[in-house]
Amino acid sequence: AFSSGRDMAGSSWKKAGSTAVRRNRERFRLATVFGRQTFSEIALGSARETRAGLAVLADLGLLDSDMVNSLDQRWDRVCVILYRLT
């Protein structure tokens, strides 16, 4: 049981973050085995994790959604650039 909304938000954030990290670790492991992982691919995965984290924080009401939308547009540009490098 959660003692407060903040505990619940923290738990949701940890769960979402750990899922993204686990997924990227697995991608890195598989890509490294096949020698296909590049730094730009790692950076792209990190940028996507950041976007997902910001969205989770906005959904939980911990960040202003207008601010997150503005940041998301910037992160979208970063992801486009990194995607083109991969």
3-state SS, residue 3: coil
Q: How far is CA 39 from CA 26, 56, 67, in A?
A: 15, 26, 29
Contact 51, 68 (CB under 8 A): no
pLDDT tens digits for range 2-46? 455 555 555 655 555 567 777 777 776 666 655 555 777 888 888
Q: pTM for this structure?
A: 0.53
Give the DSSP letter of residue 78: H
